[in-house]
Amino acid sequence: MIRFLFWRLVRIVLSVIAVSLITFLLLQAAPGNFADIQRVTSGATQLTPSQAQEAIGQFQTRYGPQVPMWKQYLRFMQGAIRWDFGPSYKYPNLTVQHIIAMAFPVSASLALMAVAIAVLIAVPLGVIAAVRQNTWIDYSTMFLVTSGRALPSYLFAIVLILIFSRALHWLPTSGWPGVKQTIMPVAALALPSIAIMARYIRTSMLETLRQDYIVTARAKGGGFSAVVMRHALRNSLIPFITIVGPYLAALMTGTVFIESIFAIPGLGLYFAQAAAARDMPLLMGATIFFALILMVANLLVDIAYRLLDPRIGFGPTGGR
Amino acid sequence: MTVVASGASALAAPGFTGAIGQRAQSAGALRIFYPNFPVLDPQVVTNGMWFAAAALLEGLVTLGPSGTEAVPAAAEKWDVSADGKTYTFTLRSGATWSNGDPVTAQDFAWTYKRLLTPQGGGTGVTLGANSYQPILRIVGAVDYQSGILTDWSKVGIKATSAQQLDIQLENPNAEFPLLLVHPSMLPMNPKLVEAKPKDWQLPENWVGNGPFSPTAWTVNTSITLAANETYWDHANVGLKSVQARLYEGVLDTAAVSYESGEVDIVSLPLADLIRYQADPTLSKQVVSVSGGTVAYLAVLRSKNPILEDVKVRQALALGLDREAIAKTSPATKPGAQLVPDSLKGWDQADNIPFDPDQAKQLLSDAGYPDGKGFPELKILCTSTNPQMEALADIWGKTLNIKVKLDVVETGVYVERRWQVQDENTVGFYFGTYGSTPTWSTWAANLWGPQFTQQFSMKAADWAAYQKIQNDSSLKPAEQTKQLEDYLAAHASKEAITYGDTVNKAFQSADPAEQQSLLRQAAKIRQETYLFIPVLFIGSFYAVKPTVKGINLLPGGLAYYFKSITNG
């Protein structure tokens, strides 16, 4: 177990370094720079190149314009180790870690609610479809679920706004925070999750239901629902956890479209804006944070996996 | 978003105000959307500087209702010396900061020093608004800002007493008070800003002299304002509070929020504007202001010298059917000058005519009869819309040439437009520009003498010029001198004449003569056809019937909150 954890942590550290290096190099290769882009997008007076040069010259951060690239990277990483990413270019009064601390709980709470709702709906749907395989219940459930998957969440979000804001006036179109403000974004995020999860549960259940021990349990006179709930579902949940973990992590790091449509100050929106604006510290900080969240989620899933199924061990290479 | 706009009409009775709106509405409160801003510093180029000007801080003067004149604000009056070069502002007696301290001339002088400090007092980490300085022509200001002058006492800004602020100009400029309405000229409280260099902007620390003060602010979410009771003209402030919801990027559902009663004022994007104008109820709530923004094309420098021929550029300018392009949108008017029609003394006689016959003749003279052999013309831009599509389509058809929109990411755009393009790329970059309606701005600031002269150089000279610009081994004074010399030697004759005419205008102490010379300069610049005007773009807002006293202004400010009442 300790050995397993140790090697996984080594892998996480190496991956974070790789992610940061790739992000940094890509950002250097990208055309344009923060000051130039800011000038165009903030509707400011257009400067001549010489004036622009002055403006960039004044652009004093811990990375001056004369500091060579490799030094900028090392300077950033030096801070990053201590969870100090420095101030964002765009939000000079806020440090990147402060922005993450503000925006992550917003994205994470949306994600948790969406995934919780999705699980609550998807599991029964998947089980019913599997148990009633090849009946109209199975077909209609899977039809609905597939349609839900095909409809992108941002389009679904707009349909929701048209119905609940424009026509019925029940919910506000956008804003944060607030219970009413949360309903539509959560619903929009949950829909595709329901689709993915229900299909997963169904497939997994079908496989389990064909297993010998289920047949045996039934033959021994176990009630159908008891067998399904106690034996089949529990065993089907193991592969299910594999997808829920990383899925939750992906949603937690923010969803650009949903946050943008509903004007939610989540991490996804900051990340997208940072990339567009070439806000190096914010983009680097967010990317490293995303990478960490994803890898930690995967690690937790792997641990949970091993606890649920003792047959998978904590081998030195991490088992499977 | 057109889908939403048109699809939505079927779902609800237009103009219906539902439960959400009625509950949130209360007399004296205003709810709006505002584009997000990272800082409230008026000396940093962000939306925050406009927000500060609209509600939180009050400059020496503000824009009057017509949008074309300066009216007393923090200064109760000003006097101009006989030579037109010295302005003496008398601060309003009894006007105070929100902490009770009087607003003094020293406060203004301190703020302007902060603005002109080479590091940019408020900028430090981002883009400073001091780029706006050159058109003000305050003695020594630009030199101090660029580091050539280090003695602040030589800059023409002096507080002679607590109430008197003297500003000395290099040349007479009758429009000077009007130029002072820019956010970068707003005062800041020196004691506060020195004590809390970053956190002075937070509501709990705020000390301002404007009609409103912030009471709560969450970046990227919302800002709430309350009327500032210590404001000298508090009795005439119509609102008790303002709640602005902040959004990043584009908020496509803004018009829907307005219709469901969540906000009282909303800026209308094109698709919604068309829908609103077609609706009998909503159309009555649309207000607009024109002449704030000009859409233009600026020539790209290229290894292919075809556009270095002024006759070719003229042909392209004359062959642009602006009427037809403007018809594609209710928000645009044909813009046949770089100077917008909102300026006093604007004359349509200076318009570039639409003359396809002469255009074709010019192209033929240049060796491209009926457009034959003319390379594909590219328009570098960051996004496209119906007007852009119409521009490319109509232009190409009129002159029988190919015109293509080259839509690129913003980072690519900002870099590529200064580069020398390869042999196969000839064309223009598309841009929009909005500012205060003064002749000094429109005839001499953007597309100003230096800028125009840079554009008039041949591609190879431009490349050499950029080399000097990027030479960090040069001292500021040395570099400026070298650049000036290079420009004088390599810019086109017309561009230099334009610069000379601008200078002559600024020498004149007679306001009428000055304006006429600036107009003349603008005409000379126009006839270089380095920049081709395309459209005048107006701003359109929907305003709830309960909201009164909104006075839309051209340019970035949109409107002052002070005069607005609700309910």
What values do phi and psi take at B217, rounded to 5? -150, 120
**Which residues of chain A does B201 touch, with a Cβ-Cβ cutoff of 8 Å?**
93
Distance from CA of B81 to the nearest CA of A (A): 30
Which residue among A40, A53, A170 sits closest to B414, beta carbon to beta carbon? A40
Asked whether the beta carbons of B95 and B103 are under 8 A apart, the reply is yes
Distance from CA of A183 to the nearest CA of B (A): 15
Label each residue of B42-106 as H, E or C. CCECCHHHHHHHHHHCCCCEEECCCCCCEEECCEEEEEECCCCCEEEEEECCCCECCCCCECCHH
Please determine, for residue B399, whether its predicted confidence score (pLDDT) is greater than 70: yes
Separation of alpha carbons B467 and A50, rounded Å: 11
pLDDT band at B130 (very low <50, low <70, confident <90, very high): low
Asked whether the beta carbons of B553 and B317 are under 8 A apart, the reply is no
Interface mutation vs chain B, best among A166, A258, A280, most B CBs within 10 Å: A166
What values do phi and psi take at A212, rounded to 5? -60, -40
Distance from CA of B88 to the nearest CA of A (A): 28
Please determine, for residue B131, whether its predicted confidence score (pLDDT) is greater than 70: no
pLDDT digits (tens, 9 = 90+) for B400-431: 999 999 999 888 888 898 889 999 999 999 98
Separation of alpha carbons B441 and B435, rounded Å: 7
In chain B, the domains with their CATH numbers are 2-252 (3.40.190.10), 291-457+492-538 (3.10.105.10)
Please determine, for residue B474, whether its predicted confidence score (pLDDT) is greater than 60: yes
Share of chain A above pLDDT 70, in %: 88
β-sheet bridge partners, residue B226: B213, B241
Separation of alpha carbons B50 and B59, rounded Å: 12
**Which residues of chain B does A60 touch, with a Cβ-Cβ cutoff of 8 Å?**
119, 124-125
Separation of alpha carbons A181 and A172, rounded Å: 6
In chain A, the domains with their CATH numbers are 2-96 (no CATH), 99-308 (1.10.3720.10)
pLDDT band at B189 (very low <50, low <70, confident <90, very high): very high
Distance from CA of A62 to the nearest CA of B (A): 9
**Which residues of chain A does B251 touch, with a Cβ-Cβ cutoff of 8 Å?**
174, 263
Separation of alpha carbons A254 and A246, rounded Å: 13
Separation of alpha carbons A144 and A140, rounded Å: 6
Listed residue (B495, B413, B515, B416) closest to B450, CA to CA: B495
Separation of alpha carbons B31 and B245, rounded Å: 8
Inter-chain CB proximity B245 and A174 less than 8 Å: yes
Separation of alpha carbons A15 and A36, rounded Å: 32
Separation of alpha carbons A109 and B141, rounded Å: 51
pLDDT digits (tens, 9 = 90+) for A110-155: 999 999 999 899 888 888 888 888 888 888 888 888 887 788 888 8
Q: What angle do CA B317, B318, B324 make, to 5 degrees?
A: 95
Task: Let me know how long chain A is.
Answer: 320
Pair of tokens at residue B279:
């609706």
List alpha helices for chain A, DSSP H: 2-29, 34-41, 49-58, 69-81, 96-131, 136-150, 153-160, 179-209, 212-219, 224-226, 234-252, 256-261, 267-277, 280-308
Is B222 an 8 Å CB contact of chain A? yes
**Which residues of chain A does B260 touch, with a Cβ-Cβ cutoff of 8 Å?**
165-166, 169, 172-173
pLDDT digits (tens, 9 = 90+) for B524-567: 999 999 999 999 988 899 999 999 999 988 777 889 999 999 98
Please determine, for residue B37, whether its predicted confidence score (pLDDT) is greater than 60: yes
Per the listing, tokens 């925006």 go with A103
Pair of tokens at residue B382:
């960051």
Inter-chain CB proximity B12 and A92 less than 8 Å: no
Q: What is the pTM of this model?
A: 0.85
Inter-chain CB proximity B4 and A94 less than 8 Å: no
Listed residue (B519, B493, B524) closest to B505, CA to CA: B519
Task: Compute the average pLDDT of residues B128-149.
Answer: 77
Inter-chain CB proximity A92 and B415 less than 8 Å: no
Separation of alpha carbons B452 and B528, rounded Å: 9
Asked whether the beta carbons of B525 and B450 are under 8 A apart, the reply is no
Pair of tokens at residue A145:
């679920």
DSSP A220: T
Residues in CB range of A102: below 8 A, 6 or more apart: A94, A265, B219
Identify which has the larger pLDDT, A250 or A20: A20
Share of chain B above pLDDT 90, in %: 59
Asked whether the beta carbons of A46 and B446 are under 8 A apart, the reply is yes
Residues in CB range of B447: below 8 A, 6 or more apart: B298, B338, B525, B530, B531
What values do phi and psi take at B267, rounded to 5? -80, 130
B414 backbone φψ class: left, alpha, beta (φ>0; ψ -120 to 50): alpha
Edge-to-edge order in the sheet of strand B86-91: B75-80, B86-91, B164-168, B157-159
Cβ under 8 Å to A: B residues 291-330: none
Which residue among A40, A58, A173 sits closest to B253, beta carbon to beta carbon? A173
pLDDT digits (tens, 9 = 90+) for A21-64: 999 999 888 888 777 777 676 654 444 444 444 445 444 455 65
pLDDT digits (tens, 9 = 90+) for A250-301: 788 778 888 888 888 888 888 888 888 888 889 999 999 999 988 888 888 8
Separation of alpha carbons B259 and B252, rounded Å: 13
